[in-house]
């Protein structure tokens, strides 16, 4: 709900471009219904929130391709595959500075405390308002994502097994 609160704040303040929508992919999170009911009262906000529901993996690439950035303020992740998928598509990533996410994204993303709406808003404004920041993060995302390929994983394990043999 922190991302929705951030988006509402920025739209109401007129700080985001009018054509920038918040697309939420996946099922609705827990404890979100009250916030959505509140947001639904404001047509200007409601018209800029898109809920896709579940999206099969094969259909994610077009969503990534049409995105300005990937924002993932997760409270906990075992690994953090969604930010990595977005990075493989060259998207600028804004994600949490907790759990495994900093290790996964390295310096290729903007890191924020997941419950800090102010920090999330600042990161989103930074990405939305600066083509240079987006280009830098995009380049870093693509480079970082290459560290996590299946080929690299297999090569590293083969080398380890050979060393241990």
* CATH number of residue 21's parent domain: 3.40.50.2000
Residues of the domain holding 90: 2-164
Q: Which residues of the chain have pLDDT under 70?
A: none
Show the tokens assigned to 46.
């409601």
Count of domains forming the chain: 1
| pLDDT for the residue numbered 55 | 95
Quote the distance between the C-alpha of residue 44 and its chain's center: 23
pTM of the model: 0.88
Strand order across the 109-112 sheet: 70-72, 93-96, 109-112
Show the tokens assigned to 98.
């907790």
Please list the residues that pair with 95 across neighbouring strands.
72, 111
Residue 39 DSSP one-character state: H
| pLDDT for the residue numbered 8 | 94
| Chain segment 29-74, per-residue pLDDT in tens | 777 888 888 888 888 898 999 989 999 999 999 999 999 999 999 9
Indicate the helix (H) or strand (E) that contains 96: strand 93-96
């Amino acid at each position: 709900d922190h991302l929705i609160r951030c988006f509402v704040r920025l739209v109401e303040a007129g700080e985001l471009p009018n054509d920038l929508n918040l697309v939420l992919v996946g099922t609705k999170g827990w404890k979100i219904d009250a916030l959505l009911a509140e947001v639904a009262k404001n047509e200007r906000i409601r018209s800029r929130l898109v809920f896709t529901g579940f999206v099969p993996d094969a259909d994610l690439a077009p969503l990534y391709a049409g995105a300005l950035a990937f924002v993932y303020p997760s409270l906990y992740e075992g690994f953090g595959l969604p930010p990595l998928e977005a990075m493989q598509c060259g998207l600028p990533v804004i994600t949490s500075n907790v759990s495994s996410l900093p290790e996964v994204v390295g310096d290729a993303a903007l890191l924020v405390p997941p419950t800090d709406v102010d920090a999330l808003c600042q990161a989103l404004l930074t990405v939305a308002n600066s083509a240079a920041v987006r280009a830098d993060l995009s380049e870093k995302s693509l480079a970082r994502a290459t560290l996590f390929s299946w080929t690299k994983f297999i090569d590293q394990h083969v080398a380890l097994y050979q060393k241990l043999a």
